[in-house]
A = this chain, B = another copy of it.
Amino acid sequence: MPGRIAPRVPPRRAERERLGAFGGLAALSLDALSSVAYGPEAIVLVLVAAGTSAVRLTLPVAGAIAVLLAVLVVSYRQVIAVHPNGGGSYAVAKSELGGPVSLLAAASLVVDYVLTVAVSLSAGAAAVVSAFPGLSGHMLTLALGGLAVLTAVNLWGIAESARVLMLPMAAFVTVILAVIVTGLARGHPAAAVGGAPAVHAAEAVGFLLVLKAFSAGCSALTGVEAIANAVPAFQEPRARRAQRTEMMLGALLGTMLLGLALLITRDHVAPRAGVTVLAQLTAGAFGTGPLYYAANLVTTLALCLAANTSFGGLPVLLSLLAKDGRLPHLFALRSRRPVYRFGIVALAVCAAVLLLAVDAETSRLIPLYAIGVFIGFTVSQTGLVRHWRTRRPPRWAVHAVLNGTGALLTATAAVVFLVTKFLEGAWVVAVIIPLLMLLFSRIQGYYHAVERELAAGEIVPPPRATAGLVIVPVGGIDRLTAQALRAALTLGPEVVAIAVHDDPERGAAFRDRWNRWGPGVRLETLSSPDHTVVHPIVGYVKERRDRQVAVLVPEVEPRRWRFRLLQDPRPVILATLLRAETDAIVCTYPYRLTSR
């Protein structure tokens, strides 16, 4: 996915903890590599609309995608050289292309991250169901369950390392390559799985159909930019190693894509109910023995880990947006465990809504996927073109033409896909991306206005103010009152205690007790005919506009949480009303119970 921010690879990590070429492949390419689990299937699902024979076009379509992949890989080698500090398409757009484009990049990235989670989890659920047909009615439950686990794990905060990812990545690549090699060696499929082929030839083979198949298949390209975003995580020489890793990724991904497409074309694979295309190819290669189950589970694991990369990436992106004042500051808030809770929850909620909306059917998410991806590619490449034009290194024109061609290609693709797939779901993206951009810019407007207001004019240093008046509402003569008065006396020499009584007689009696106690603090009794305690105090504070007033609100704090429900609510209400309606400094000082 273009512009994705490298997850969980702190920039100041010690050198020996940094990534080598193979480690980088493990840590950063699972998202890209795992997309071969649904990319080729997406092509087949489009082509089959023109009958089983149209499936033979899978190979040429995959070939075209492989060519685009090659262009992207070469382009990202240049991105690595130019931006050795990494940063996603949002960062590139912000520095090279300015505000509005960076908003576009940010919005498409947000959409993409959410879609990665939804697509990976629904594809993972499909892989599980392929192995265990008994679960076929529970796709949505499986996907939501996986989402819940990922969310919990990420909220808890895991210390993830590249080494952990190496094994599942290697297992997944091995499985796919083994399927291709064994399948091609066999001559014809070893076993068939799933129901009857679900084919209803409704369209003729035509340019539009091939274009749609191409766009659907491009979902296999998501994630190829992750390496370019994480250059600082590599060992020295960083750029060189990252470039080598990018090439390895391109070669692996291209090989798997073309190999699977070749197998699909040769075996005339058509979509079947209850199994994925990849599962059909696996059964064709390995039969339906233990290897079949193992291969499907490895695929599921890889897809779940791919979904997990979004949990690493989106919250970081949201925090960057929040720091730039384009999202609420809440999203920049990190708990002590270095985890952006709000971002994780936002991602989980959005992905769950998506999964529910499409009933966890991968094929219904694919049309939404391509547009965000291609916007990201276009923004990165356009940024490079701008870079070459302003810096003008040797042979800059060649580079600029290369990246410009890439940008034009991907931009055209984005527009074409938006038009051809508009009614199939792309309209959602076409609505959400502008809305997100509007939201970002409105929020930015708010923060700018606040900044201007706070900094407006000359900021005069504060005068040596005289001591203010400290008011303490009291309800009786007890330890709570004594403690509150003691605290109030440290805030200023002039302290007034206020007692509210609904009956003047009781007020007088309280005054007598107060004077006998002799705290050395003046008492004022207010009468409250309508039994409220809070409003007379607020009224009293409002009348003292001539000087700065501080109100110290005494509060009893129980030791155990469950007793909070039993607390007197009036101190909280008083503090809230004072903050809303008066210019008083509102202070709280809890009396901590020891017994409860």
Task: Give A247 Cβ to nearest chain B Cβ, in Å.
Answer: 35
A391 within 8 A of B: no
Q: Which of B492, B579, B588 contacts A491 (CB 8 A)?
A: B492
A563 to B448, CA, bound (A): 13
Residues of chain B lying within 8 A (CB to CB) of residue A586:
587-589
Residues of chain B lying within 8 A (CB to CB) of residue A520:
461-462, 464
Known contacts A465-B490, A492-B492, A519-B461; A479/B455 CB under 8 A: yes
8 Å CB contacts to B: which residues of A5-64?
none
* Chain B residue at minimum C-beta to C-beta distance from A470: B491
A304 to B519, CA, bound (A): 56
Q: Which of B450, B456, B486, B530 contacts A462 (CB 8 A)?
A: B486
Asked if A490 and B478 make an inter-chain contact with CB atoms under 8 angstroms apart, the answer reads no
Asked if A593 and B490 make an inter-chain contact with CB atoms under 8 angstroms apart, the answer reads no
Residues of chain B lying within 8 A (CB to CB) of residue A390:
none
Known contacts A519-B462, A566-B446, A590-B579; A454/B479 CB under 8 A: yes
A586 to B571, CA, bound (A): 14
Residues of chain B lying within 8 A (CB to CB) of residue A480:
454
A 276-292 to B, binary, CB cutoff 8 A, 1 in contact else 0: 00000000000000000
Q: In the complex, identify which listed stretch (A211-219, A329-337, A358-366) lies at the interface while the others stay far away.
A: A329-337
A465 to B548, CA, bound (A): 20
Task: Give A520 Cβ to nearest chain B Cβ, in Å.
Answer: 6
Asked if A517 and B465 make an inter-chain contact with CB atoms under 8 angstroms apart, the answer reads no
Asked if B569 and A330 make an inter-chain contact with CB atoms under 8 angstroms apart, the answer reads yes
A493 to B493, CA, bound (A): 11
Q: Which of B461, B531, B595 contacts A518 (CB 8 A)?
A: B461
Task: Give A105 Cβ to nearest chain B Cβ, in Å.
Answer: 22
A 317-329 to B, binary, CB cutoff 8 A, 1 in contact else 0: 0000000000011
Residues of chain B lying within 8 A (CB to CB) of residue A466:
490
A 537-574 to B, binary, CB cutoff 8 A, 1 in contact else 0: 00000000000101010001010000101111110010
A468 within 8 A of B: yes
A462 to B482, CA, bound (A): 6
Task: Give A209 Cβ to nearest chain B Cβ, in Å.
Answer: 46
A532 within 8 A of B: yes
8 Å CB contacts to B: which residues of A475-498?
477-483, 485-487, 489-493
A423 within 8 A of B: no
A 321-356 to B, binary, CB cutoff 8 A, 1 in contact else 0: 000000011100110101000000000000000000
Asked if A329 and B593 make an inter-chain contact with CB atoms under 8 angstroms apart, the answer reads no
* Chain B residue at minimum C-beta to C-beta distance from A331: B569
Asked if A449 and B487 make an inter-chain contact with CB atoms under 8 angstroms apart, the answer reads no
For this complex, 23 residue pairs linking A to B, each with C-beta atoms less than 8 Å apart, are A328-B565, A329-B568, A329-B569, A330-B569, A334-B532, A454-B591, A459-B482, A461-B485, A462-B486, A462-B519, A462-B521, A463-B486, A465-B490, A467-B493, A468-B490, A490-B492, A490-B548, A490-B585, A550-B587, A579-B588, A585-B588, A586-B588, A587-B588
Known: A449-B595, A468-B490, A585-B588. 13 other contacts (CB 8 A): A328-B566, A336-B532, A443-B566, A450-B558, A455-B478, A456-B479, A459-B517, A461-B517, A462-B485, A462-B519, A468-B491, A491-B550, A587-B587
